[in-house]
Structure 1
Amino acid sequence: MKLYNRKNTQNAMVACAAAILLMFSSCSESFLDVPPQGEQPGQTFWQTEADATAAVNSIYGNLRTWNNTAFPAIAIESLGADEAEKGSSPNDATFMNNFDNFSVTSTDGLLGGFWEGQYQNINLCNQVIENIQGIQMDQSLKSRYIGEAKFVRAYSYFRLVRAFGGVPLRLKPAKDASEFNIPRASAEEVYALIEQDLDEAAAVLPQSYSSADRGRATKGAAIALHAKAALYQKKWDQVLSFTNQVMGMGYSLFPDFQDLFRVNNENSSESIFEVQCEYYPAIKGSSNSQYSQVQGVRAQAGYWGFNVPTQVLADAFEPGDPRREGTILFVGTTTKYGDAITSVAGDPVRYNGKSYVPFSTVWDNDNPRGAQQNVRVLRYADVLLMNAEAANELNNTTQALASLELVRARARKGNNTILPAVTTTDKTALRNAIYHERQVELGMENDRYFDVIRQGRAAQVFGPKGWKAGKNEVWPIPQTEIDLSVNVLTQNPGY
């Protein structure tokens, strides 16, 4: 069942309208998905439990916006990898190629869009953390709401630190220019804030919700994201501990890999956190998520065909691996749901199968096609592979092999003629097997680019695309942000 807060649109818009009053000076009202209905002045907001609920709902609503899920996110989190390329027609949005061939400069607008999207999330979270403290309401619900806000704040800072390295740490709504214009923190300081937020969130968030609240941040989501933050810092003891905790929380791999990514299987037993999206026929325009629309099969009405899988990814799968067809839609084939994948001259020959919404899914001309598709952020297979990687680094080969085998066994679905169990006890060989499994299991889920960099293999893997050590470990800080700061913000080396 879809998370109710996505259907509580008016309350979310009220919260966003109030949020504008405290929005950073470099942001505009353009971040709103829809025109506010019944704006509520800031001084009369933050009074009741209903206000707190609306404000928290607005955090989740903002996660599905263009800057968080469409072109900016695709450019920064996907196109640098060897698994994806721009797609669409050759002459459409050619500026996105700059991320694929590493010719991007600090003036590229997609950098600013991604930066803005994350700090909009952070600002909404900061407002909740600061302002609901004084509301007279159920104390346990208040604590949970603050925990939800800290989880999303940590998630946004995680996306920022992977992309840019150290960034400004904003921990409360800016009251004036002196509080807004602050220098970059170090990457280590950003990770420390992420870890603190996730520890505090995990301490108050429930392990599960009733159907009405399904899709909100949980204790498992906070611990799993903490494991991932530790993974990027090579804190192997923590990765193993946190993933072991999540593995004891009742999650399980969904039986069918391809079905896992369909709308009717959202928030499944494998789901740890998803960005909740929905189709709003009563609200026209960009209020709905465009995540699937921008990546869908170009020959189908309403789809744009960007962020397409490469031949490199197609060739990475072992013979007979069903995940190949679950990850990639190949032109000239028909999906198990009856859709013929077609093209015209100049179109891509492959599309992202994980953003695919069957063509029969309801939509209308005023709304993005596929707006119902949730964005999978954290899932149990990722936790198992993090567990395998940490166990191997800590010389616990038995556990590493066991966690890796769980992922491969789900993929083979009882067909023992494919995907044989990995049995090597050589640490380097097992490490490489786990790296490969992450590539094929998590393909087109915005992990490959940052995975290869943290593994220290980017020069080897991405070098042929133009990646340069000492520069491309991070993207450039948006020049607009440097200009607005009057050079308080500093640029990354090489840009």
Structure 2
Amino acid sequence: MYTNFSFLKRSVLGALCIAGLAGGITACKDSFLDVEPQGQQRQTQFFTNQEQAIQGVNSIYANLRSWPVVAFAHLAITTLSSDDAEKGSVAGDAAFLNDYDNFTFTATQGILNDYWGGQYQGINLCNQVLAYVPTINMDAALKTRLLAEAKFLRAYHYFNLVRAYGGVPLVLIPVTAESSPDQLNPVRNSSAEVYTQIVQDLTDAGAALPARYASTDLGRATKGAALGMLSKVKLYQKQWADVLSLSDQVIALGYTLAPDYEKMFRIEGENGPESIFEIQAQTIPGNCDASNSQWAEVQGSRPQFGWGFFNPTADLEAAYEANDKRKDATILFRGETTPQGDKIDPAAPNPRYNQKAYVPSSVDRACGYGKDQNVRILRLGEILLINAEAANELGQTAKALAAVNQVRARAGLTPLTTTDQATLRQAIWKERRVELAMENGDRFFDLVRQGRAGTVLRAQGKQFVDGKNEVFAIPQQQINITGGKLTQNPGY
């Protein structure tokens, strides 16, 4: 069954295309200008009624699918940097990606600025909603919910930024042509300050968002999404008691593990019983740029299903235990026949592709390869592993084993039984790797928070430098725009 996408079909899909930080976004994409003349109005003129409030929030969701947020920039920074992925494709195609595989990139490279700009575009759209919707005369309950959605999405973007760059400018009001020089050219906040804001936004969102929606609003942020994301943020801060409490709350909301791991990543498995938050994508006939993403297209097996980039490594393949069902559901091997009956070209240029990004040939390609594929951001499998990690750190071994073994049982594996905290920690970290591989871009950031990025990545031949490469370079373009007010990370 296809994802219900009606709430975005009714929207302007980002008609409020207003630049984020000065110079951070060079232009608005036509795909976000579906309704006129609203898209040409100033934002303070636009937010005048309830329908426009809904459209404003929908524009934030639309930005989640944009090229810099889910495609090359996102995958280079979050996935190619890890031991899970290598460049893929063919030798001469997008050779600049090798710099992210090898940690030889410089601050002037465009992908760093693309990722920065895509996140701040989303933040500015959130800030517009949070600034202008409160003054609209409209249904009070709906207003509260829309503001909570905007806070959830702003927190999501800032979580992406703080993990990638460390401390970044904390911009909480809309940036417009009339903004002051200090607003247009902000200084960096500390990582701690950014995390404090993320926690506040997610706490506010969790208190206001509903646990579920009617089918016409499927895909919007829920209470589970806010609490689940907050548990993940607290995980990165090592605030174990909060992590355990929050993940317990999410588990109690009634999500269940999807019975078939492989089918969960097909289009018919979108927004299933395990799903907590997904970036929605669906082809709209006659408007191919309106609501689809290129997350799957850039990773699909070349040349049948996509461009062939960001491929699973041999090291990832070797990380799976014998008989782990997740291996064949995550790695699409050259020459194999998929459960959906597609034979992958035996002469494909790469031995492995991301099977979670695979969209079968039976799916309509009127708008290209894989444009209908949702991007999975948060699901119960991850929450159980977050819960297990927190329980283990707090010495609650039985609780940790119960959570992690639910995930292993679905994978067809025997239960873990160790009661040694250090051994169980390593087992949970490994389980997190193979459960979430090639999915939501956490592996590099996990290695950093675990304090072992240098050791693991140098063993894979990467030129990772301790004290430098835990974060990426602040885009030089942004430093130049601010006249040097933005400072560079050490070593760059």
TM class by shorter chain equals over 0.9
Where does residue 426 of structure 2 map in the other structure? 432
- Shift of the alpha carbon at 1:37? 4.0
- Shift of the alpha carbon at 1:369? 1.3
User: Map of 1:53-72 to 2, 5 A cutoff?
Assistant: 53-72=54-73
- Shift of the alpha carbon at 1:287? 5.6
- Does the C-alpha gap of structure 1 residues 391 and 287 become closer, same or farther in structure 2, counting only changes over 3 Å? closer
Where does residue 405 of structure 2 map in the other structure? 405
Deviations 1:24-59 (A, max 9, x none): 431232344255541322253111100001111111
- Shift of the alpha carbon at 1:343? 4.7
Asked if the contact 1:220–1:272 (Cα under 8 Å) also holds between the matched residues in 2, the reply is: yes
For residue 219 of structure 1, the aligned residue among 217, 223, 236 is 223
For residue 351 of structure 1, the aligned residue among 336, 350, 353 is 353
| Letter paired with 1:492 | N
| Letter paired with 2:431 | E
Deviations 1:96-138 (A, max 9, x none): 0100000010011000000000000000000000100110000
For residue 30 of structure 1, the aligned residue among 28, 40, 43 is 28
Asked if the contact 2:281–2:291 (Cα under 8 Å) also holds between the matched residues in 1, the reply is: no
1:139 aligns with 2:140: yes
1:12 aligns with 2:12: yes
Where does residue 371 of structure 1 map in the other structure? 371
- Does the C-alpha gap of structure 1 residues 36 and 336 become closer, same or farther in structure 2, counting only changes over 3 Å? closer
Q: Secondary structure at the match of 1:78?
A: helix
Q: Secondary structure at the match of 1:377?
A: strand
Q: Secondary structure at the match of 2:324?
A: coil
| Letter paired with 2:228 | A
| Partners of 2:291 and 2:384 in 1: CA distance | 35
Asked if the contact 1:289–1:368 (Cα under 8 Å) also holds between the matched residues in 2, the reply is: no
- Shift of the alpha carbon at 1:152? 0.4
| Partners of 2:8 and 2:353 in 1: CA distance | 28
| Partners of 1:324 and 1:399 in 2: CA distance | 26
Q: Secondary structure at the match of 1:18?
A: coil
Where does residue 489 of structure 1 map in the other structure? 486
User: 4+ runs of 1 displaced by more than 6 Å?
Assistant: none
- Shift of the alpha carbon at 1:238? 0.8
Structure 1 gaps of 5+ residues are 413-418
User: Map of 1:103-114 to 2, 5 A cutoff?
Assistant: 103-114=104-115
Deviations 1:62-94 (A, max 9, x none): 100101110000000000111101111111001
Q: Secondary structure at the match of 1:273?
A: strand
For residue 442 of structure 1, the aligned residue among 429, 436, 442 is 436
- Shift of the alpha carbon at 1:290? 0.8
Q: Secondary structure at the match of 1:125?
A: helix
Q: Secondary structure at the match of 1:351?
A: strand
**Structure 1, 116-125 or 179-188: larger mean CA deviation:** 179-188
Where does residue 309 of structure 1 map in the other structure? 312
Asked if the contact 1:6–1:57 (Cα under 8 Å) also holds between the matched residues in 2, the reply is: yes
For residue 326 of structure 1, the aligned residue among 323, 326, 329 is 329
Asked if the contact 1:309–1:352 (Cα under 8 Å) also holds between the matched residues in 2, the reply is: yes
Determine what percentage of the aligned residue pairs are the same residue. 49
Deviations 1:126-156 (A, max 9, x none): 0000100110000110010000000000000
- Does the C-alpha gap of structure 1 residues 106 and 363 become closer, same or farther in structure 2, counting only changes over 3 Å? same
| Partners of 1:177 and 1:208 in 2: CA distance | 42
Where does residue 158 of structure 2 map in the other structure? 157
Asked if the contact 2:17–2:33 (Cα under 8 Å) also holds between the matched residues in 1, the reply is: no
Deviations 1:335-357 (A, max 9, x none): 01101011536x11100011111
| Partners of 2:464 and 2:385 in 1: CA distance | 26
| Letter paired with 1:333 | E
Asked if the contact 2:20–2:120 (Cα under 8 Å) also holds between the matched residues in 1, the reply is: no
1:46 aligns with 2:50: no
1:297 aligns with 2:301: yes
| Letter paired with 2:329 | G
- TM-score normalised by length of structure 2: 0.95
Asked if the contact 2:5–2:282 (Cα under 8 Å) also holds between the matched residues in 1, the reply is: no
User: Map of 1:415-426 to 2, 5 A cutoff?
Assistant: 419-426=413-420
1:192 aligns with 2:196: yes
| Letter paired with 1:355 | A
Deviations 1:383-410 (A, max 9, x none): 0000000000000000000001000011
Q: Secondary structure at the match of 2:472?
A: coil
User: Map of 1:192-271 to 2, 5 A cutoff?
Assistant: 192-271=196-275
| Letter paired with 1:189 | E
- Shift of the alpha carbon at 1:280? 2.1
| Partners of 1:90 and 1:5 in 2: CA distance | 42
| Partners of 1:431 and 1:146 in 2: CA distance | 38
Q: Secondary structure at the match of 2:12?
A: helix
CA RMSD of aligned residues (A): 1.4
Q: Secondary structure at the match of 1:30?
A: coil
Where does residue 447 of structure 2 map in the other structure? 452
**Structure 1, 370-379 or 41-50: larger mean CA deviation:** 41-50
- TM-score normalised by length of structure 1: 0.95
Asked if the contact 1:18–1:39 (Cα under 8 Å) also holds between the matched residues in 2, the reply is: no
Where does residue 117 of structure 2 map in the other structure? 116
Q: Secondary structure at the match of 1:29?
A: coil
Where does residue 186 of structure 2 map in the other structure? 182
| Letter paired with 1:233 | Q
Where does residue 416 of structure 1 map in the other structure? none
Q: Secondary structure at the match of 2:52?
A: helix
Q: Secondary structure at the match of 2:16?
A: helix
Where does residue 462 of structure 1 map in the other structure? 457
| Partners of 1:96 and 1:286 in 2: CA distance | 27
Deviations 1:256-279 (A, max 9, x none): 000000101111110000001111
Q: Secondary structure at the match of 2:446?
A: helix
Where does residue 77 of structure 1 map in the other structure? 78
Where does residue 387 of structure 1 map in the other structure? 387
